[in-house]
Amino acid sequence: MKIAKLILSTLLALGAMASHALDIQPYSAAALTQAQKANKPVALHFHADWCPTCRAQEKVLQELKSEAGLDLTVLVANYDTEKDLKRRFNVRAQSTLVVLHGEKETYRVVGDTSPGGIRGALKSAL
C-alpha cells in the first residue's frame, strides 16, 4: 500500500512538472497568434541551422525543458525564411530570442548562450 501511494505521488508530481515546463516547437503564425490572444508567455527563437551560436542556444533551451516553473512556449523561427516575421519584430541577427507576454515584449537576447541569461529572459514573461 505504501509503495502504491509513493508511486502515485511521484506520478502526480511528474505530471505537475510536465504541465509547467518549457515547450519548444516550430514557429507557426497560428501558434504565435493563439498565445498572444490568450495573453500567454511565448518566445520567438530566430534560429539558423548554419549558426553555431543558434545551436548553442538550442542546446541550452533543450536543457531548460526539464526545469520546473518555465511555463511558456518557445517558437523556433527560421531566420533565413521568416523575413516578414523578422521585419515585424525588428530582428537583425540570427540567434535572437524575443520574449513576449501576449503582445508586449518583455526581453530580447541576441547571441547569449548562457543558461542564466536565457533563463532570465524567459522568466521575464512569466
Q: Give the per-residue pLDDT at 2.
A: 53
75-114 tens-digit pLDDT: 999 999 999 999 999 999 999 999 999 999 999 999 999 9
Q: Is residue 15 part of a domain?
A: no
Q: Is residue 12 part of a domain?
A: no
8 A C-beta contact, residue 22 and residue 35: no
- Of 41, 48, 44, 49, nearest to 29 by C-alpha is 44
Q: Is residue 14 part of a domain?
A: no
9 CB burial (10 A radius; 0-12, 13-18, 19+): exposed
Q: Is residue 30 part of a domain?
A: yes
Q: Is residue 13 part of a domain?
A: no
Domains held by the chain: number: 1
Q: Is residue 50 part of a domain?
A: yes
> What pTM did the predictor assign?
0.83
39-85 tens-digit pLDDT: 999 999 999 999 999 999 999 999 999 899 999 999 999 999 999 99
Q: Is residue 3 part of a domain?
A: no
Q: Give the per-residue pLDDT at 6.
A: 36
- Alpha-carbon span 74 to 112, nearest angstrom: 16
CATH number for the domain spanning 35: value is 3.40.30.10
pLDDT band at 21 (very low <50, low <70, confident <90, very high): confident
Parent domain of 84: 21-123
